Amino acid sequence: MFADTGACGTIVRGMEQTNDYNEAGGGVGDGGGGGLGNAGAGTAGDLCVVRPALTVSQRARDYHYQPQDKPGFVKTVQKKVRDSCACSGRCVKTVITSKLPILTWLPSYNLRQSLLGDIIAGVTVAIMHIPQGMAYALLAGLPPITGLYMAFFPLLVYSVLGTSRHCSMGTFAVVCLMTRKVVEELATAPDVPPTAAFSIGDGGLMDNTTAAAVTYTPVQVAAAVALMIGIVQVVLGLLQLGSLCVFLSDMLVSGFTTGAAVHVMTSQIKYLFGLQVQRYNGPLKIIYTYKDIISQLLHANPAAMVISGLTIATLAFNNEVLKPWVRTKTKIPVPIELLVVIGGTVASYFGHLNDNYNIRIVGEIPTGIPAPTPPPFELLPKVVVDSIVISIVAYTVSYSMSKIFAKKHNYQVDATQELYALGISNVFGSFFGCGPIAASLSRSLIQEAVGGATQITSFICCGLIVLVLLFIGPVFETLPNCVLSSIIVVALKGMFLQVHELKRIWKVSRMDASIWLSSFLGVVIIDIDYGLLIGIIVSLVVLLCRSQQPKTARFGHIANTDLYLDVTKYSSAVEIPSVSIFHFGGPVHFANTEYFRTQLETITGLNPSIMSHKKKMLEKEQTPEQDDTQQSNKEVNGSVASEGHEKEPNKLVMLFKNKRNGKKPKDLTISMPEIKHIIIEMSSVSYIDSSAGKLLVQLYKDYNAAGISFSLAASSENVLDSLEECEATKVIPSENIFHSTHDAVTILTCMDSSATNSTKL
């Protein structure tokens, strides 16, 4: 039921209304001169609310609105400085523990509950680090031992500074591939022997080739990239830009990583087939690479192909058959990668595969811990652009994974602290010849699945890696490179399966699918960094398009309720005589003000310019005889209705005489609707800017000149503040800004009814 008492009425909502607006005398029922129907008792479960119909100014007055003071720029800066400089014992403790998270979780560590799971997870992840680290280091164009360094030095620092308890940091395929691009551009030529290019001497990383021919080793270039990435991430942390990853949507990351998987696969084909493929850089390099591969297929090494095939078949059998069965028996997975590495090493050692079949092997692996050596600082300006891109990708992947585990296990991860942790870890690792690190999805899932609960897992993993570096490393010197490449290729299955995401996204949104496609094709056809840039640009364009052209509708009233819904979607929604309600489903700003105006005129069928022109013609051309006709057939407005949105026109017409150009008088027929009020329903408008404020003011003036009142309804406090700041409220009266659409309809129809009654009297 609805009933409104007084001039503007009291709204009572229920279910017993039977009269519509026409039956209520132009919008007025029996509720005291301004209702929407007769009052009655609601049924069980109905909602009944009694309150006065309100404009925004009445709401502020009646309920004691107290706007908050907005401090100026100087006061804001002073407050932030004062808060930052405030010091107390608790404040100092909070700052220290926030920057050193280990001080938070280590004192409260539960040995009985967590230690066993952490030990099992640490051992399991360390076993995974050995083959994956060596394989992904090869992917990055680095000596395999570098992958083990990356599993120790940066991980040790992250365990102290990081807030994620389940992410396994170290080598990651996409980051290693992006690092390889920089290494190939700036490091040793491919024909330099590995032992000459990668040796580590007493003075640290050394280049044993002639200075005239080679400037930097691959390890030096990768270390410089890691240092620059660390600096970028620390700076982003200082700027509190931990939310930067929101610009990389799920569709973009999925398309980007799938495209990167194609590059990873391409880079390993030469090892799988035992080919000598020329190295290409820049756009379209993948096309030139496959051209070379196809031309050299007849010269492939059969022994390398057999070893690769057996390794891939073994890994695939484990992943598809053995692993699901083992998972039903225990949480600890079969270390199949380590087993194939051991098997490949043994077969190569006793079969002399390098000498007898020309199988490329890992080669010399030094023992011990490398001495800290600063990266070549002169390389930093050359790698800064690539480092920014890699740092964003590495942080986005790592932080996204951290949030997943934190939500599952009910703890918090700090976005800014994660930037600090990753940045400092990369800086520290760069002094020991490490490349950039990120979280690995496969290792992190295993770490969480086997019971890892805290960062103690990482410390145990680091301890085992040290044993490998000190004593076991040289055992893998005869390991064939094609075995490591096979491990990489099989691990790419998850990335390639992301193609199924495109099918799902396509059904939901073609625009989101365009982000996936543009990222994927940009990465594959052009290059990795260009593809990421294209994906970001397309994402911003999609966001702008959605913001520029949000959904619009013409609302009608649902009988017996205070609901107003789209008349094209809800058959029960009935338009109110004399009132046109226009809904705009997004923010209004400089980029869509013209769209707002066009949609308003199209959907309501009311063009203020045409209506004003007809009104002037009426005043200029009418005759005394026509005055009599107009007295009996009074109309208020003129309109131009658009197709699909026409309102039923009043059948009465006005006659005008055309005396222009000396022609005989000619009767003109002008059809006009009965609309007296336009209401802009703004419940979905999150914000407006100054351009939108000017537009609303101009629309108010234009429609007023055409004889139609222009009102706003259901505006948020943020929008109301913006209207006041851009001085729109100085032109648009507060009486034309309503608390809700129903308040606007109630008050406006009440005013029409009062005017009609006064005219009859």
Contact 207, 433 (CB under 8 A): no
Report pLDDT for 143: 92
Instruction: Say which residue, 362 or 41, is predicted with more confidence.
Output: 362
Q: Is the pLDDT of residue 176 over 60?
A: yes
Q: What is the mean pLDDT of residues 449-473?
A: 91
Least confident of 100-104, 192-196, 230-234: 192-196
DSSP class of 661: G
Which tops the pLDDT comparison, 636 or 89?
89
| pTM for this model (two decimals) | 0.73
CA distance 165 to 104: 12
Tell me the sheet residues that pair with 50.
Answer: 12
Among 194, 294, 256, 272, residue whose Cα is nearest residue 487? 272
Which residue's entry shows tokens 């990389």?
A: 248
- Does the pLDDT of residue 171 top 70, yes or no? yes
* pLDDT score of 85: 65
On whether the CB atoms of residues 581 and 554 are closer than 8 A, the answer is: yes
Whole-number pLDDT of residue 43? 52
Split at pLDDT 50, 70, 90, the class of 652 is very low
pLDDT given at position 8: 52
Q: Residue written as tokens 């220290």?
A: 96
Token digits of residue 260:
């990167």
Q: How far is CA 564 from CA 403, 561, 567, in A?
A: 39, 9, 9
Q: Does residue 83 carry a pLDDT above 80?
A: no
Task: Report d(CA 124, CA 336) in Å as an integer.
Answer: 11
**Given pLDDT bands bounded at 50, 70 and 90, which one contains residue 10?**
low
Assess whether pLDDT exceeds 90 at residue 3: no
Q: How far apart are CA 679 and CA 554, in angstroms?
A: 10
Look at residue 99 and tell me whether its pLDDT is greater than 60. yes
Burial class (CB in 10 A: 0-12, 13-18, 19+), 268: buried
List, in order, residues 6 or more apart from 687 with CB less than 8 Å away: 587, 588, 589, 718, 719, 722
Stretch among 134-143, 211-220, 495-504 having the lowest mean pLDDT: 211-220
pLDDT number for residue 94: 79
What is the amino acid identity at position 467? L
- Closest listed residue to residue 178, CA positions, set 150, 141, 151, 143: 141
Neighbouring-strand partners of residue 11 = 51
In the predicted model, what is the mean pLDDT of residues 683-696?
92
**Dihedral in degrees, nearest 10, Cα atoms 746, 747, 751, 757:** 40
> Given a cut of 50, is residue 393 above it in pLDDT?
yes
Given this model, what pLDDT does residue 84 score?
A: 64
Integer Cα distance of 375 and 225 in angstroms: 9
Q: How many CA atoms lie within 13 A of 170 on its CB side?
A: 34
Give the Cα separation of 574 and 581 in Å (integer).
11
The DSSP symbol for 704 reads H
Are residues 457 and 122 in contact, defined by beta-carbon separation less than 8 angstroms?
Answer: yes
Q: Quick: pLDDT tens for 615-629.
A: 777 666 655 545 554
pLDDT higher at 665 or 614: 614
pLDDT tier at 647, thresholds 50, 70, 90: very low
For 228: left if phi > 0, alpha if psi spans -120 to 50, otherwise beta; the answer is: alpha
Q: Which two tokens stand for residue 391?
A: 């740092």
Give the type of residue at 334: V
pLDDT, tens digit (0-9, with 9 covering 90-100), for 355-367 = 999 999 988 888 8
Once rounded to an integer, what is the mean pLDDT over residues 230-254? 85
Among 146-155, 293-302, 486-495, 751-760, which stretch is predicted with the lowest mean pLDDT? 751-760
Averaged pLDDT for residues 630-642: 43
Residue ranges of the domains in the chain? 112-190+216-366+392-545, 551-612+672-753
Q: Please work out, in degrees rounded to the nearest 5, the angle formed at the alpha carbon of residue 429 by the alpha carbons of 428 and 430.
A: 95
Q: Decide if pLDDT at 13 tops 60.
A: no
In CATH, 551-612+672-753 is 3.30.750.24:
yes
Helix-, strand-, coil-residue percentages of the chain, each rounded to 5? 60, 10, 35
Predicted confidence band of residue 640 (pLDDT cuts 50, 70, 90): very low
Mean pLDDT over residues 142-169, rounded? 93
* Contact in structure between 633 and 622 (CB atoms under 8 Å): no
pLDDT tens for each residue of 711-760: 999 999 999 999 998 889 999 998 999 999 999 999 998 887 776 665 45
Residue that wins the pLDDT comparison between 248 and 391 = 391
Comparing 603 with 2, which gets the higher pLDDT?
Answer: 603
More confident residue, 329 or 161: 161
What whole-number distance in Å separates Cα of residue 10 and Cα of residue 734? 19
Give me the mean pLDDT over the 649-676 stretch: 46
pLDDT at 32 over 60: no
Average pLDDT over residues 158-173: 93
Mean pLDDT of 702-714: 91
Angle at 200 between CA 199 and CA 204, to 5 degrees: 145
Nearest to 568 by CA among 643, 645, 680, 678: 645
State the alpha helices, DSSP H only, in 274-322. Answer: 285-296, 302-317
**Closest C-alpha to 636, from 710, 709, 711, 708:** 708
Summary mean pLDDT of the chain: 81
- Stretch 360-375: mean pLDDT: 90
Residue 484 has pLDDT above 70, yes or no: yes
- Top pLDDT among 12 and 559 is at 559
pLDDT score at 204: 39
Q: Comparing 78-82, 687-691, 745-749, which segment has the lowest mean pLDDT?
A: 78-82
Of 714, 169, 665, whose CA–CA distance to 447 is shortest?
169
